[in-house]
Amino acid sequence: MPTSTFEKLLPWTGAAAGLLWATHMFAATAPDDPTDPAAVAVIGDAVARNYVAGFALFVAALMLLFFAAAARRALRSGEAGESTYSSVAHGGLLVAAAGFGGLGVLQIAVTNAADAGDATATATLGQLTLVGWLPALVGFVAAFWGTGLGGLRNATLPKWFAIATIVLGAAGVLGPAAMVVYLLLPLWLIAASVVTAARPAVRDTSLTTA
């Protein structure tokens, strides 16, 4: 059965998510301390940029949902009777997508509060925005380990990429080192799209074989 256009485009949704995450990183404007009296003015003076950052996260979340299917398919092609690694990677990306969506909500909410001149709400929502990345980080750490370990064990991904992915997963649970994941995530998603798209289309026949 020939591969459809949708299936061919599916791996590239990871790159789209990476570019949208980079858009959020560069567009979001806020002081380091949400309780800073100038926070309302700083965010309020960049309302358009902050709205762009928030809505970019919503679309990135959607792209991650699609990429989760592509990543699972690539890893599953090398698994035999069990699907542990592909399941962990798939589930991790779904959690990361939910984290992106939640962070997008916080970004829009803090922008609304600043635009309305509500200093108290801006400070509270700003604090939540600072830690709003953590749910997505949990998902990505699981996805990194599922992808990296699965790619090594089943030789479904280039060795260099699998090892780099495992290292990122380790960095994600080392406190401040998780900032490396935050900054390198766009590059990883783009690279993941490239290596996933390079995998031959192998259909899972485990449900149809006796």
Question: What's the pLDDT score for residue 203?
Answer: 46
**pLDDT value at position 155?**
76
pTM as predicted: 0.89
Q: Domain segments of the chain: what residues? A: 5-198
| Average pLDDT score over the chain | 90
Which CA distances in Å does 181 have to 26, 42, 168? 16, 26, 6
User: What pLDDT, on the 0 to 100 scale, is given for residue 205?
Assistant: 42
SS (H, E, C) 59-105: HHHHHHHHHHHHHHHHHHCCCCCCCHHHHHHHHHHHHHHHHHHHHHH
Buried-exposed string 148-170: b where 16+ CB fall within 10 A, e elsewhere: bbbbbebebbeeebbebbbebbe
* Cα 134 to Cα 129: distance, rounded to the nearest angstrom: 10
Residues of the chain with pLDDT under 70: 1-2, 78-82, 200-210
Between CA 126 and CA 73 the distance in angstroms is 38
CB-CB neighbours of 206 under 10 Å: 12
Contact assessment for residue 94 and residue 72, using Cβ atoms and an 8 Å cutoff: no
Distance CA 5, CA 100 (A): 27
∠ CA 79-65-87, nearest 5°, is: 25
Per residue in 83-131, pLDDT (tens digit) is 788 899 999 999 999 999 999 999 999 999 999 999 999 999 999 999 9
Query: Cα torsion at 26, 118, 120, 175 (round to 10°)?
Result: -10
